[in-house]
Structure 1
Amino acid sequence: MFSSIVDVLDFIREDGLTSEQKGEATGLLDVILSFDFIFNIHLMKAILGVTNELSVALQRKDQDIVNSMKQVEISKKRLQMMRDNGWKNLLEEVSLFCSNHGIKVACMNDMHMLRGRSRRKASEITNLHHYQVDLFYNVIDMQLQELNGRFTETTTELLLCMESLNPSNLFFAFDKIKLVKLARFYPLDFSSVDLLKLDNQLDNYIFDMRSSDDFAYLQAKKLVETNRHIIYPLVYLLIKLVLTLLVATASVERAFSAMNIVKSRLRNKMGDLWMNDCLVTFIERDIFNKVDNELILQCFQNMKSRRGQL
């Protein structure tokens, strides 16, 4: 689509309806017909190609944790291989693309000039240092740091242990050793005596689950309906902790994502109390959208006497 985009922008630059359209098209053409832009989109394409399967696996509703963790390791190794040996191939690919579209290829030995900066204020680095170190290495290191930060050894082990509770295929992933290890992550909920009880209780639990058609798709609600949560209290506690962990993690992620939207550059002096109130209404907007605005106005109107009508 690159050639088509250039043709459309060139048409707008020449025959745009307003001078503003023509100016914007001219600016965009100046950007995308540069080596810097081409290098960045090829680097982005390469990294997204490495992490695509992992991204898809993590977004599926029926998450296969074991295979997802394998994709994490694959992404880490491929990114590291790309960092160690991928620079030459990327540079050749970018240079070939530029040659095919009439774009000047930057000489890696020349001094790098930032767009809009004078030579006197230019940083004393070569194009090779800018594109290889400041962009190529730096972007890949950020990706690796993100994966290592989100999927630490402890986190990976915790997720693999959680997978042992997956009821799919008659509890095919069930592993008693991993479930006992999972319980050790919660020392305040499982004492040393409880761990001994859990070891035996898991044997009875899995035998019961596999011999009952009602638990082909296990839910904590089903355990309660059949009163099995009373028979297997430690297993039920373990399931509740796992389900709570997933909800809590998702809630934290939603809150941090919303914070970047609510507390923007124009509202960076917002106090904590006001920000918390705004975050609640933003995160739970599906609920608040169902509340009639007139009811809210009436509630505030009745709090105290006011000069005007809200």
Structure 2
Amino acid sequence: MEITNLLCKALQQQSQDIVNAMHLVSTTKSLLQKLREDGWEPIFESVTSFCTSNAIDIPDLNSQYIRGWCKPRHKNDDTSMTMEHYFKYDIFTAAIDFQLQELNARFCDKTVELLMLSSTLSPKEAFKSFKVDDICKLVEKYYPKDFTDQEKIHLRIQLQHYELDVLKHFDFQEISTLCELCWVLSSSGKSTIYHLVDRVIRLVLTLSISTATTERAFSAMKLVKTRLHNKMEDDFLTDTMAVYIEKDIAKTFTTEEIMEEFYQIKNRRRT
């Protein structure tokens, strides 16, 4: 918890510094791995000292670990496990491995690269991180179907003009987020001139929403498509999940409003 605390605080900030947050992900992984390899002895000495000072019994680590009422899952399970082996590998190492797996799943190399490249669009600190090559790489690698080959060529040219125009324009000096950048581009009319750059910004803005929606969909599927509902059609499953995921919005609808909507779509008999 000491190691991951700094990363958790950085990710919980409303205005996140993506570059530094991704650096914290890397350092957190390294520190957890170091703790896994060399941290058992220091933490065991700390726990022993705490138990001694508070008159807490310390188990004999060389004694056999007894599973209690839990039976081994397989006949070949080793029943001669020592207490030290149990505490060191089944608890200490297993807990660290779980943390590392969670970080690797949520911040794999592709995710980190995507976030790092996306951060080059940020207007924070007068577009300090802006890089034409990185933005072109972002489009080429992660949004290849959203731009034609001709548009990718024009994008680089637009970015070169954008760098000399927008980055030094007075109206853009005080903004710090992509949302503000998108709004100012639109209100100033520059979103029409730099329409390809504007498209990239809007794609990046929808990234977090798309990821969150996907995660919520998978979580909802386990609750909606149960053993008793395993034969529902795809369309019905999609509609049911949409209602479940957006249940806060669905609660605002009344039965009369739904009936009226269907009635206006097609002639139906009201019951």
In the alignment, which of 22, 33, 56 is matched to residue 69 of structure 1? 22
Equivalent residue letter for 1:164 = T
Whether the 8 Å CA contact 2:220–2:241 is kept in 1: the answer is yes
The answer to whether structure 1 residue 163 and structure 2 residue 119 are counterparts is: yes
The 3 A distance-change label for structure 1 pair 50 and 278 is: farther
For residue 14 of structure 1, what is the aligned residue in structure 2?
none
Whether the 8 Å CA contact 2:224–2:241 is kept in 1: the answer is no
Equivalent residue letter for 1:71 = L
Tell me the distance in 1 between the aligned counterparts of 2:212 and 2:20: 20
For residue 159 of structure 2, what is the aligned residue in structure 1?
202
For residue 184 of structure 2, what is the aligned residue in structure 1?
222
1:184-242 Cα distance to aligned partner (Å, 9 max, x none):
12222234433332222112112222333333323323323333222112211211221
- The root-mean-square deviation of aligned C-alpha atoms, in Å, is 3.1
Higher mean Cα deviation, 181-190 or 216-225?
Answer: 216-225
For residue 243 of structure 1, what is the aligned residue in structure 2?
205
For residue 145 of structure 2, what is the aligned residue in structure 1?
188
In the alignment, which of 46, 71, 76 is matched to residue 93 of structure 1? 46
For residue 242 of structure 2, what is the aligned residue in structure 1?
280
Alignment gaps of 5+ in structure 2: 263-267
1:247-301 Cα distance to aligned partner (Å, 9 max, x none):
10121223344456x369xx6544366765554333213212323467669999x
The 3 A distance-change label for structure 1 pair 252 and 152 is: same
For residue 265 of structure 2, what is the aligned residue in structure 1?
none
Task: Give the paired residue count.
Answer: 255
Whether the 8 Å CA contact 1:109–1:128 is kept in 2: the answer is yes
Report the secondary structure of 2:57's partner residue: coil
Tell me the distance in 2 between the aligned counterparts of 1:238 and 1:89: 49
Deviation at 1:105, TM superposition (A): 1.3
Whether the 8 Å CA contact 1:113–1:122 is kept in 2: the answer is no
| TM-score normalised by L of structure 1 | 0.71
1:77-128 Cα distance to aligned partner (Å, 9 max, x none):
1101101110011112222233333332122111111243589x98331112
For residue 58 of structure 2, what is the aligned residue in structure 1?
105
Which structure is richer in relative contact order (CA contacts within 8 A, separation 6 or more)? 2
Tell me the distance in 2 between the aligned counterparts of 1:117 and 1:93: 30
Whether the 8 Å CA contact 1:110–1:127 is kept in 2: the answer is yes
The 3 A distance-change label for structure 1 pair 107 and 278 is: farther
Tell me the distance in 2 between the aligned counterparts of 1:134 and 1:113: 13
Matches within 5 A, 1:1-310: 48-117=1-70, 123-185=79-141, 186-215=143-172, 216-217=174-175, 218-259=180-221, 262=223, 269-271=228-230, 276-292=238-254
Report the secondary structure of 1:195's partner residue: helix
Report the secondary structure of 1:188's partner residue: helix
Equivalent residue letter for 1:251 = T
Tell me the distance in 1 between the aligned counterparts of 2:68 and 2:258: 51
Whether the 8 Å CA contact 1:112–1:127 is kept in 2: the answer is yes
Percent identity reads 35
Equivalent residue letter for 2:212 = A
